[in-house]
């Protein structure tokens, strides 16, 4: 049973759909990749600001299973940005007590990127000021399919009975195993969709859709959204106490 969260409590786990990089760039007559580069600056600023705002877990949607449909130049540019971010920021993340995790299907990613991801996960494991989870080649349905396959394999091997498949078993098969569910999901750029992000985990989350594009989203605006959340009351299907 979950505890009711009383007004005044800030979110412990915030997940963000970082949307609007392309539109931000287009409005300025810049290539889309310039928007993604500015988006990486916003990532840095929001990660730095999170612990001060009482956030213990921050999860960012960086690349979806659908994003491969974009032009090769943009996909390659984004992958290059991820590699650069992991190389440039790993020392700062580690020094600041940030544990870094990745969710999503990795085999389709290039080997250099996968090595950087694995290396950073290993070096930061157990750090506990902030857990930063980055979703790369992530889709909520894809994650559920992989979890279901894992459970089916274990049932076929006789390791668990079909009746052993419960919510805890499914949660333990997801990429997010061990992470608490998000309390708040923020999406920038004015779109009100969840786009296949944390489908299972965000069942009881609050949602905040903000109009700013990701490159113009500031730590100050982030703090406002967090404060607004803290004033709401979550009941998880129960009635007011």
The residues that touch ligand FPP, with contacts defined as CB under 6 A, are 18-23, 36, 39-40, 43, 60, 62, 67, 78, 81-82, 85, 134, 189, 214
Q: What angle do CA 132, 137, 139 make, to 5 degrees?
A: 90
CA distances from residue 43 to 54, 108, 130, 159, 214 in whole angstroms, order as listed: 17, 23, 14, 42, 9
Decide if 19 is catalytic: yes
Catalytic site residue from 3, 19, 115, 166: 19
Nearest distance from residue 12's CB to ligand FPP, in Å? 21
Residue 94, beta-bridge partner list: none
As given in the structure block, the two tokens for residue 190 are: 């004015």
Report the nearest approach of ligand FPP to the CB of residue 5 (Å).
28
Nearer residue to ligand FPP within complex by CB, 120 or 225: 120
**DSSP code of 3?**
P
Distance set, CA 96 to CA 45, 68, 170, 177 (Å): 13, 32, 32, 23
For residue 26, give the 3-state DSSP assignment: helix
- What is d(CA 172, CA 178) in angstroms, rounded to the nearest whole number? 7
Kindly tell me which of 67 and 90 has the beta carbon lying closer to ligand FPP. 67
Please, which residue, 164 or 190, has the CB nearer to ligand FPP?
A: 190
Least spacing, CB of residue 111 vs ligand FPP, in Å: 19
| CB 156, min distance to ligand FPP, A | 37
C-alpha distances in Å from residue 127, one per residue of 45, 76, 124, 131, 205: 19, 31, 6, 8, 25
Whichever of 39 and 173 has its CB closer to ligand FPP, that residue is 39
Given a contact cutoff of 8 angstroms between Cβ atoms, the answer to whether 205 and 17 are in contact is no
- Specify the residue, 39 or 182, whose C-beta has the smaller distance to ligand FPP: 39
Residue 67 catalytic?
Answer: yes
- State in angstroms the smallest separation of the CB of 19 from ligand FPP: 5
Residue 85 CA to residue 83 CA, distance in Å, equals 6
The residue whose Cβ lies closest to ligand FPP is: 22
Residues acting as catalytic residues: 19, 67
């Amino acid at each position: 049973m979950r505890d009711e969260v009383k007004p005044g409590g800030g979110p412990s786990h915030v997940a963000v759909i970082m949307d609007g990089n392309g539109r931000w760039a287009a409005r300025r007559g810049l290539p889309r990749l310039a928007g993604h580069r500015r988006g990486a600056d916003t990532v840095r600023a929001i990660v730095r600001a999170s612990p001060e705002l009482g956030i213990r877990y921050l999860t960012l949607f960086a690349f979806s299973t659908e994003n491969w449909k974009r032009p090769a130049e943009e996909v390659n540019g984004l992958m290059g940005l991820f590699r650069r971010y992991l190389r440039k920021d790993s020392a700062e993340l580690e020094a600041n007590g940030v544990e870094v995790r990745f969710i999503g299907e990795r085999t389709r990613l290039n080997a250099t990127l996968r090595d950087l991801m694995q290396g950073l996960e290993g070096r930061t494991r157990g750090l506990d000021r902030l857990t930063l989870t980055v979703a790369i080649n992530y889709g909520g349905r894809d994650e559920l399919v992989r979890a279901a396959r894992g459970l089916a394999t274990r049932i076929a091997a006789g390791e668990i009975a079909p009746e052993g498949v419960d919510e805890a078993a499914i949660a333990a098969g997801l990429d997010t195993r061990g992470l608490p569910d998000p309390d708040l999901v923020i999406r920038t750029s004015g779109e009100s969709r969840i786009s296949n992000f944390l489908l299972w985990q965000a069942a009881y989350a609050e949602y905040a859709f903000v109009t700013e594009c990701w490159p113009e989203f500031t730590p100050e605006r982030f703090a406002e959204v967090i404060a607004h959340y803290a004033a709401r009351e979550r009941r998880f299907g129960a009635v007011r106490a």
